[in-house]
Structure 1
Amino acid sequence: MDARTEELRHAHDVLSDWYAKNLVGVLESMPVERAMLDMFAEMTLAVGPEVADVGCGTGRLLPYLAGRGLSPRGVDLSPGMIETARRENPGFEYAVADVRALPFEDASLAGVVCWFSLIYLAPDARDRAFAELARVVRPGGCLVTAFKHGDGTLHRNGPSSSLGVDFERYWMSAREMEDRFARAGFDMVFQGHTPPEDGGPPYGYMLVRRSADAELPGHRVRRPR
């Protein structure tokens, strides 16, 4: 594991309890985010119930997804986050994994959720990550993502610095996100954003569908490195 990835993993190990305490009930106060997840669930169920939350953190979205008829599982780079998820949101399957090497067979999922988890992708990691997301979603399946709008500039020294940790964050533009999904074989279904608040960046949302004519490679499972 490279130093940048190790830093990110360690930071989220430290942050896991903070997330568990401070994100409880947040989704209930965010109608736009619920609407995106609802639209994702309805469209995904036409293909199947099997979905993964990639970068699941404390697993806070899994009960909501399950309540919409999906069969979600969670993966996260941080062992600490996965331990917290199993404690705070039990009853689901969790695994430690990197978005660049997901532990799923080709086209084995009807959908994927990436909720503010793609903001940690450095430029040299993006091609592999988007290709890996495409690999595990079957044709016609969906992917929904929430992210922070920006110009791709590296950000450090965020609020987590007060907890003694820091890590790299990249706020990609909507254009880059759209282009990367298109190159990976996804068709755009919906995209939108919310206005910035308190001097922060606007939040972006995208729902994409795996192209129906996407080629399916031989089934295989990639293990985290």
Structure 2
Amino acid sequence: MATHLITGAGSGMGRIVAQRLLARGDQVWLLARSTQRAAELGAEHEGAVVVVADLARPHELESLAGSLPDALDSLIHAAGVVELGPVADLGTQVWQEQLAVNLISPAVLTRVVLPALRARRGTVVMVNSGAGLHAHPHWSAYAASKHGLRALADSLRAEEHEHGVRVTSLYPGRTATPMQAKVHHQEGKEYDPAEWIDPATVAEAIITAVDLSEDATITDVSIRPN
């Protein structure tokens, strides 16, 4: 039985990945930001184990070291936050939150579970964004966090190759998730989910990376809406 740890399983592609892995009989661990949210995730994803730590407070992840599995087949970073605005208007708190959730917490959580990943020659999947490749006006803070996530993945891949740990970065374009609805609201645009990538498509790519034969690594994949 494979064992996985997933962030961002409350919505979007993270939710679908968790559902599919549980349905095939894998052991799934989820991260929740509060005890209330943990109860909700536990009810939604029957059979999953839920632990509590807030990604907006990266130091809280340190306390998970003794309460997570000793061996992991995958760590899937699917959580993320976004707040748009010009550099001239973005406050310090906005920058700090996006960097904490989108970059610092993935780095800390990965470090905490690296021994478990090495034990299974596991895979780290970082759900990045098209903003991790190109920064557009009003996307500075989010894009900076995602550019940093790409650098984290590249460094980690090189460092952990000798231990058999694989690292995959996915760069989805606009995907029909609650985050996308928020982005459209901030942009002052009407939102039609049918125009964008189905989150199930991204979930399929995540699971493909996790299940890939051990003789290869999917390093970087860009997924764009038609």
User: When the two structures are superposed, what TM-score results if normalisation uses the length of structure 1?
Assistant: 0.48
Which structure shows the higher helix fraction?
2
User: When the two structures are superposed, what TM-score results if normalisation uses the length of structure 2?
Assistant: 0.47
Which structure shows the higher strand fraction?
1
